Chains A and B, each alone.
Chain A
Amino acid sequence: MTTRFGAVALCVVLAAGAVACSSADDAATPDTVDADGLLGQDPGDCIVVDMAVSPEKIDLMTDLAQTFNDSDEATSGDECIFVRPQRKSSGASEQLLRDGWDEAVEGPLPVVWSPASSAWGAVLNQQLTDQGDEPIATEGEPFMLTPLVIAMPEPMAEALGYPQEPVGWADILRLSRGPEGWAAFDHPEWGPFLLGKTNPNFSTSGLSALIAQAYANTGKTEGLTVEDLDQPQVEQAARDVESAVVHYGDTTLTFLNNMYRADQRGNSLTYASAVAVEEKSVIDYNAGNPDGVLDPGEEPRPPRVPLVAIYPEEGTLYSDNPLITLDAEWVTEQERDAAAVFVDFVQQPENQERVLEFGFRPGNPDVAISEPIVTGNGVDPDQPQTLLEVPEPEVMVALLDNWDEQRKGARVVLLMDVSGSMGDIGDPDTGETKLDLAKRAAIDALDDFAAQDIVGLRIFSTDLGPSGTAEFVDVVPVGRRMTDNREALATAIRALAPTNATPLYSATQAAYEDAVAAFDEERINAVVLLSDGVNDDGETGDDDEQLDSLLAALEAGGEGRLTQPVRVFPIAYGEDADLSTLRRIAEASTAAVYDASDPTSIDKVFAAVVSNF
């Protein structure tokens, strides 16, 4: 049946594109072998059921596993069962299960796999079949559910007439293309209609939003064709919508964190007007926990302006978080039986009620949808009323291909630290320096920019330039489209060598101010800052003053509807990087910081950063 195949098709296409697709939120946290879960605990002589669990539910699953392991129910025959979840993002685990799972690096092979959506199981099976292997993903029982929604600040949703008036993708897109922006709704003070969308090559939310956008642009709700996408008016509509995008990114949590910070400064209405996210993220946001994770010392504080979940009139898509017991050679009959005991356990009503605590809808229909999924939290338990059809694979390919052409262009300065410490060893196994690794990652990341993007390379250290006194040098000036500039950039990056000190603050401020001066309103304007150390320009007495000046400039530039937002995306590179300061820099410009404290992760981090453009 075509509609069912569609769900499978979605991710088959992703696979064809060899991209790292994740759930709306499950790219939010890096994969770690032992950061969460129960990997550190001794299972004794019990049957061990290893699980690979997408990050958004690792805390819940670990909690349930712990409860289960300690209970009398953790038995199969005469033996005890020990369930051991580990965090693995959906896309990453799918690729590992397909290409080979190195237990020494990735942790134990899973008996049970719980990605964000069942579609991942279909992807895996399709890819295994394509490469001549047997499928291993069985159909898993949905553990918990959450629909994709359009999150809007409440006053903005009300201005559209919601909830009395239904709002659909088409309405949102029409608004984003309209030249008047919010003035058309008697709110000129809110400025243009700004759309938050994640990169569909990385985020399932982004991909779902792209599908919905395509339907809205064609006036269809099913049966989308390649011919539909090729119509000139549809192409133009897609470009118009993309032009309203704030920036992209690998996870919706970046938007929610930024919106929350803007809210705390009283500016949430000027950061983004609408963001496509999972319903549970709206609940988390309104509880004052925008990324769903409370860091040590953090306490949830409700935002000044709450978000409202709009369930689009035309339909939406669901994440169902299945528990898939793998039919793989490494899974024994004994482990399979033990897994079944745990799968039954988590479906028990008292355990399904735990799902609600995390803002998800229980998979067990006998458990009522209740707090926190209530209208008071900006969501509606009686929605959604209908779902969108996922297009056929060839249409998905065309959608993603077209998006590469249609997405909003970017004007980006790569600001790279070439201080002496970049010459330190980054990978002891290969002997490569941190700069070696960063250069390779940066060159690889050039391919992730769109052809129309304008990218330049600026390096910073001390005693640079012909005079030997400069703190930065434009090695490749920002100016030419990536199509014409890629080789020059790659060549320049290859030639970089470690030099002297780290004038982090002054170099960042200069790059930011230059980008503001050259602001291009048709593009996403940004500085990607890679640094491996603390500010060190040989003059420690003015460090605080420099940082205050930088942060003030960044904050001032991001507020108010007539501003020219240039976002600074820092990469904290290596274990000596000043992550906390870099985070402040990112937050001041409503961007996001990326943690590459392990230098060997820099290639993944660079790709994630570039996903913002």
Chain B
Amino acid sequence: MRRLLAVVGAVAMIGAAVLVRDGVLDGGGSGGGGGSGAGGDGPTRLICATELADACQALADEDGDVTFDVQPAGDTAELLTEAAFDPADADFDAWLTLQPWPALVELRRELAQRGPALGETSDVLATSPLDVIGPTERLDTLVGTVCDAEPETPVWRCFGDNAGADWDDVGGESGWGRVEVGFADPTESATGLLILGQASAEYFGALGGESFARNDFDAAFSSWLRAIADSSPNLPSTAGTPLSQLLQYGLASWDAVGDLDWTADARVQGSRDEDSLTVTYSSFMLAEVVAVPVRGHGLPDLSGGGPRNALLDAGFTNPTYDIEPSRSVSPINPGLYQALLEEWELAS
């Protein structure tokens, strides 16, 4: 399978440590030490994207002045975009999330002719590649038989092309039902949005420096997205991420899901289906963790060893990757992400 990381030189757990040591979490803030909310002294209140809950818990455990709430990035973005949102009255000081959400918030506010809500986004604190996880036999069948046929098709492009198809039409067994592939709702999930971008870039061939834009969207792309959206398995509950559902319901649920590498590693290892699951990659794309203060609010100095180690213990890494350029997703700007979200909402 396509374990790109097996052939790249990964230098883990360095970047985040350096960045934290250099105090980037102070970015945009006015305070230090014990935190500085809008009201001055007192605990620092973070909102953490769901994917970063463990990291925030570790931070709070290390620093008694840090409190936090966990929320899907989409919910926080909605809050920050509301006309009624006033940074001065905000009941939290900063947002720990994935790119491009801070920029997306400011874009939405700008489109709504509202002023900025956030301060300066920090440098990247940590990264994670995006994974594809699925039952080995099914991934082998789909990727090995269909996607890797000449010419080789990127995995998400191939998944979308076959989403909803009967397995026995694509080389699988009829008892497997239909091809069910997906990712977390991109309107809510920071990870889901990134995978939507990754999959769309593959659809348009925007790898290795090639780009795509809203102008490229057409009916065929809408159908392709709809096939992915409609292929979700019929589970009794929508709770949890697709990866959680895959681990809970096994073969009856997803045939392939996208998620963050650090999440996948932690969740798949030790799960009851570990031996029958494969973690693999499609095109290369990094999820980037950033912190951003609410405008006018500050952040604590997190440069001490304790907080740094807490971040590392929670799975933050910052390796360097040596990826074949032609396999890398070209950068996607916030405006294009917004357009993709609108297209997704139409499709789903």
Contact = CB atoms under 8 A, between A and B. Distances in A.
B273 A387 contact: no
Given A1-B230, A1-B348, A366-B270, A140 B178 contact: no
B234 A4 contact: yes
Given A147-B252, A365-B271, A387-B253, A141 B234 contact: no
Interface in B286-342: none
Interface string A110-122: 0000000111010
Interface string A126-153: 0000000000000111100101000000
Interface in B220-252: 229-240, 244, 247-252
A365 B236 contact: no
B204 interface: no
Contacts of A166: 174-175
Contacts of B267: 365
Contact of B239 (A140, A222, A318): A140
A222 B272 contact: no
A363 B271 CA distance: 12
Interface stretch (A174-182, A378-386, A469-477): A378-386
Given A2-B230, A142-B248, A221-B178, A387 B235 contact: yes
Contacts of B251: 382-386
Contacts of A118: 236-237, 239
B298 to A, nearest CB: 28
Contacts of A142: 236-237, 239, 248
A142 B246 CA distance: 13
B234 A365 contact: no
B235 A365 contact: no
Contacts of B262: none
B239 A141 contact: yes
B252 A318 contact: yes
Interface string A3-28: 11011000000000000000000000
Contacts of A382: 250-251
A164 B235 CA distance: 27
A543 interface: no
A466 to B, nearest CB: 60
Contacts of A7: 234-238
B30 to A, nearest CB: 32
Contacts of A119: 236
A117 B267 CA distance: 24
A318 B236 contact: yes
A313 interface: yes
Contact of B233 (A3, A145, A363, A369): A3
Chain A contact surface mostly: loop
A388 B235 CA distance: 9
A386 B247 contact: no
Interface residues of B, number: 32
A386 B252 contact: yes
A318 B249 contact: yes
Contact of A387 (B233, B270, B271): B233
A322 interface: yes
Contact of A139 (B239, B250, B253, B273): B239
B272 A365 contact: yes
Query: Which of B175, B178, B247, B270 is packed against the most chain A CB atoms within 10 Å?
Result: B175
B248 A322 contact: no
Contacts of B40: none
A317 B252 CA distance: 9
A328 interface: no
Nearest to A369: B272
A265 B177 CA distance: 40
B252 to A, nearest CB: 4
Contacts of A363: 248
Interface in A294-329: 313-320, 322
B230 A3 contact: yes
A518 to B, nearest CB: 45
A73 to B, nearest CB: 17
A374 to B, nearest CB: 14
A316 B273 CA distance: 20
Contacts of B248: 142, 145, 363, 365
A390 interface: yes
A366 B271 contact: yes
Contacts of A242: none
A314 B177 CA distance: 7
For A1, A221, A363, the residue with the greatest tally of chain B CB atoms inside 10 Å of its CB is A1
Contacts of B253: 387
Contacts of B232: 1, 3-4
Given A1-B229, A145-B248, A385-B252, A368 B234 contact: no
Contact of A6 (B176, B234, B272): B234
Given A1-B229, A365-B273, A320 B237 contact: yes
Nearest to B270: A366
A389 interface: yes
A320 B249 CA distance: 10
A368 B272 contact: yes
A367 B250 CA distance: 13
B303 to A, nearest CB: 32
Contacts of B231: 3
Interface string A356-384: 00000001011111000000000000111
16 contacts: A1-B230, A1-B348, A3-B230, A7-B238, A118-B237, A139-B239, A141-B239, A221-B177, A222-B178, A320-B236, A320-B237, A382-B251, A384-B252, A385-B176, A387-B234, A387-B253
Given A141-B240, A317-B234, A387-B177, 7 more contacts: A4-B235, A7-B237, A117-B236, A222-B178, A318-B235, A320-B237, A382-B251
Interface of B: 173-178, 229-240, 244, 247-253, 267, 270-273, 348
3 smallest A-B Cβ distances: which pairs? A386-B177, A365-B247, A118-B237
